[in-house]
Amino acid sequence: MTAQANTQTAVPTVKLLIGGQLVESASREWREVINPATQEVLARVPFATVEEMHAAVASAKEAFKTWRKTPIGARARIFLKYQQLIRENMKELAAILTAEQGKTLADAEGDVFRGLEVVEHAAAIGNLQLGELANNVAGGVDTYTLLQPLGVCAGITPFNFPAMIPLWMFPMAIATGNTFVLKPSEQDPMVTMRLAELALEAGVPAGVLNVIHGGAEAVNLICDHPDIKAVSFVGSTKVGTHVYNRASFNGKRVQCMMGAKNHAIILPDAHKEQTLNNLAGAAFGAAGQRCMALSVAILVGEAQNWLPELVDKAKSLKVSAGVEPGTDVGPLVSCAALDRVSSLIERGVGEGAQLVLDGRQPQVAGYAKGNFVGPTIFSGVTPQMSIYQEEIFGPVLCVLHAATLDEAIELINANPNGNGTALFTRSGAAARHFQEEIDVGQVGINVPIPVPVPMFSFTGSRASKLGDLGPYGKQVVQFYTQTKTVTERWFDESEVGGPVNTTINLK
Ligand code: NAD
């Protein structure tokens, strides 16, 4: 992605957040933030200079000195206030998000809401960051744990959930006593910045949260900077693998949530109407730009007769701009994404899959320039085809057939990805067999997109994740803290020789 020279001045600029101040970048490299339904230029985002990025890390390092000592109740109360501010500004946040990302207003509110749930969770940090104590592990000796913050942590986020995913990261990192440098997606940074402003309003002190913008250079600086102790990444497998290797090599703690190819198995005993509705929503909603989108359906046995009705459901979805009432499928995020998805559909046809529903070049009244692809369905897909092997990240569903549940499970387990999967059935025995045998980290039973709520963690597996600990939940408290064990003994002065009048100076 090439940044552009800063030649225009009419559109607003996206600011950096450094040391509690919204700062205009001095960069000479800028990129346009574009409404994907209209191609209107909404803003220009800078690729921060190296000096600006170093200033953001330095401000986080300085703020850590006091923030780490801020009482846990004071930290929690900021997030109580923050969740209130996000609720009060929900409509505005959703409108910004829809304008820059494309998803429907309802999906945009969902995006903010799923992040808000993590903010609510961060407000419970008093209970989450408790240590453990074992009494009398030897005569008169106790052992207990402290969960201490690491220092400056950083987050790198993708375009597809520009509210939820930043909110997976900085609230829990800050609530546990760390300071943070966030690098949002350069494609849609505006809602993330509004959330950062609200965090300041809620009372996050200067320097505790910083935001830089940019691309590969910013990401590499985060991976290399000696003052950054941990990196959270969400995005594609290619970039996530690079971030994991580079930041781990530099001694950092790293967690990377990455790409996917999520399969649903449909058994012939499933509730037909609910299953088809769920499949259509999970495959084509948000234009398929969800890491948990169901992009492969395996119809088992007689369920393959449901294909025509699935096609009818898909055809009934409304393709239009996210701001239009009743829209089910909005535009893809960029012209580049449109080209990529269109060319993958072309490849699917070339490789011999049957294109039973072609969503290319839909007529969308009033939005002739939008990056639209309507629901698209391929049947007769085989695991050798590139439409099966690649994450399409568009509203494209690949349909395969299997004779038995075990054959379908085998297919899924042979796919490298492990983000999510779902089974549709009325059989408890089949569901239990599936949950035991399937090698995927997030499993839905009659639930198409099984993303856990924040008291659990996001638990994608295999090629969809690098690092042991996931975002939010108990796992992220471990990720953002160093467990220290203290083993202590106090001598009874009357037994060991009486009091000693010595003054200890701590400083
Ligand atoms: P991306 O990997 O292109 O971008 C993610 C981040 O990396 C962005 O901030 C971007 O600026 C940066 N980046 C891009 N190219 C880079 C490079 N060459 N070197 C260094 N940094 C670079 O991902 P995206 O297109 O924004 O998001 C879509 C991807 O994210 C999909 O693969 C999707 O499955 C994945 N995703 C995964 C999860 C999950 O939880 N597993 C959630 C959401 C999205």
Residue 317 near ligand 1, beta carbon < 6 Å:
no
Q: Check residue 3 and give its pLDDT.
A: 47
Helix (H, G, I), strand (E, B) or coil at 227: coil
Is residue 419 lining ligand 1, measured as CB closer than 6 Å?
Answer: yes
Question: In angstroms, rounded to a whole number, what is the distance separating the alpha carbons of residues 477 and 133?
Answer: 18
Q: What angle do CA 46, 339, 363 make, to 5 degrees?
A: 110
1 CA: nearest ligand 1 atom: 15
Distance CA 190, CA 208 (A): 20
- Helices 105-122 and 164-175: angle between axes, nearest 10 degrees: 10
Encoded amino acid at 62, one letter: E
Residue 112 and residue 119: Cα distance in Å, rounded?
A: 10
Rounded CA separation 104/328 (Å): 7
pLDDT at 347: 98
The SS3 of residue 215 is coil
Best of 244, 291, 371 for a ligand 1 pocket test (most atoms within 8 Å of beta carbon):
291
CA 344: distance to chain centroid? 24
Q: Measured in angstroms, how far is the CA atom of residue 219 from the centroid of ligand 1?
A: 11
Q: Is the CB of 336 under 6 A from ligand 1?
A: no
Q: Is 153 a catalytic residue?
A: no
Domains and CATH numbers, the chain: 16-258+473-485 (3.40.605.10), 262-445 (3.40.309.10)
pTM of the entire predicted model: 0.96
CB distance 415 to 261 below 8 Å: yes
Ligand 1 pocket check: which of 33, 100, 185, 391 to mutate, most ligand atoms within 8 Å of Cβ?
185
pLDDT values of the chain reduced to their tens digit, one per residue, 507 residues: 344 544 445 899 999 999 999 999 999 999 999 999 999 999 999 999 999 999 999 999 999 999 999 999 999 999 999 999 999 999 999 999 999 999 999 999 999 999 999 999 999 999 999 999 999 999 999 999 999 999 999 999 999 999 999 999 999 999 999 999 999 999 999 999 999 999 999 999 999 999 999 999 999 999 999 999 999 999 999 999 999 999 999 999 999 999 999 999 999 999 999 999 999 999 999 999 999 999 999 999 999 999 999 999 999 999 999 999 999 999 999 999 999 999 999 999 999 999 999 999 999 999 999 999 999 999 999 999 999 999 999 999 999 999 999 999 999 999 999 999 999 999 999 999 999 999 999 999 999 999 999 999 999 999 999 999 999 999 999 999 999 999 999 988 888 876 677 788 888
| pLDDT for 19 | 98
- d(CA 354, CA 331) in angstroms, rounded, equals 24
